[in-house]
Structure 1
Amino acid sequence: MPDYAYVRQTDGFTCGPTVAMVAAAALDPQYGATVTDPATEQHRIHAAANRLWPRKLGTTPWGVAAFISRHTAPLGVRYGWRLFRGDLGPAIAAVECDWPVAMLIGKGVPRHWVLIVGHDGDDLHCFNPARGVVTTIPVADVRARRLEPLGFPRAFALVLPRRVV
């Protein structure tokens, strides 16, 4: 992952665009080199990903997946989303192959995006755009709905790579 850990979301609605930007920059260094103003880029992505969705409701899983896919399609990979039902196997396999995975978390409703950028033993390393840091979370805590160090306890959805070659 490039050194985008210093990037923070600019407001309470740009966690999804920030996660999409960091993932795309990690997978497409040419794109990453063009991001000279992360705050402006977050708002550009937010507008592009939410053409029919109210921006005050954040960014949809399909919007995050579509933006990342624009930068991975030349690599033969598209991103798609799925509801989280307790299975982290595909997410762990992806990050072990250097494909970041976006995870939508919340309490009663989905509220915040984080980016899984690594896996080490029983832990996941998650970039949290609210703080601009990578936080280590035990895999068991994701399944047990104990994600409070990321701001909310529960995972709702994953945005994962899918081969299309």
Structure 2
Amino acid sequence: MPDYAFVRQTDGFTCGPTVAMVASAALDPSYGATVSDAGEEQHRIHAAASRLWPRKLGTTPWGVAGIISAHTAALGVRYGWRLFRGDLAAAIAAVECDWPVAMLIGAAIPRHWVLIVGHRDGVLECFNPARGVVASIPVADVAARRLEPLGFPRAFALVLPRHVTS
């Protein structure tokens, strides 16, 4: 995964577009090379992903999945979303094969997107677009709702590679 520490979300509503942009750039380097203004690109993605959804409510899981899938179609992979039910096996398998996984987190309600970019020895590496940093989170802490280093305690949904098309 390239170093995206310089990328930060531009406002309180663009964490999802930022995560989608970083994942897309990692999976499609030709797309990444075209992004000259990350803030402008975040807003373009937000508009594209939220056509029927109020932007002030953030970005939906299906919106994030759709943006990433647009950049993985040539690779034969589509991203999809699912509710988080305590199992990270598919997410871990994906990131171990260099497929980033978006995770929607929050407290009582979903509020923030982060991007799982790696896994090693039971620890996830999660890019947090609010700070532009990668935080280390033990896998056990996700199920135990201890994600405070990412800003919120609980995972709600995952956006991950769903199936390979031929």
TM-score of the superposition, structure 1-length normalised?
0.99
> Which whole-Å CA distance do the structure 2 matches of 1:56 and 1:19 have between them?
17
Q: Residue type matched to 1:143 in 2? A: A
Q: How does 1:35-46 map to 2 (within 5 A)?
A: 35-46=35-46
TM-score of the superposition, structure 2-length normalised?
0.98
- 1:164, distance to aligned residue in structure 2 (A): 2.2
> Which whole-Å CA distance do the structure 1 matches of 2:51 and 2:43 have between them?
12
In percent, how many aligned pairs have the same letter? 83
Runs of 4+ in 1 over 3 A off after TM superposition: none
> Which whole-Å CA distance do the structure 1 matches of 2:139 and 2:57 have between them?
28
Q: Residue type matched to 1:38 in 2? A: A
In structure 2, the residue matched to 1:111 is 111
> Which whole-Å CA distance do the structure 1 matches of 2:156 and 2:72 have between them?
24
> Which whole-Å CA distance do the structure 1 matches of 2:67 and 2:90 have between them?
20
Q: Secondary structure at the match of 1:9?
A: coil
> Which whole-Å CA distance do the structure 2 matches of 1:151 and 1:81 have between them?
21
| Structure 2 portions without partners, runs of 5+ | none
Q: How does 1:138-153 map to 2 (within 5 A)?
A: 138-153=138-153
> Which whole-Å CA distance do the structure 2 matches of 1:76 and 1:87 have between them?
25
> Which whole-Å CA distance do the structure 1 matches of 2:109 and 2:32 have between them?
31
In structure 2, the residue matched to 1:24 is 24
> Which whole-Å CA distance do the structure 2 matches of 1:11 and 1:70 have between them?
24
| Structure 1 portions without partners, runs of 5+ | none
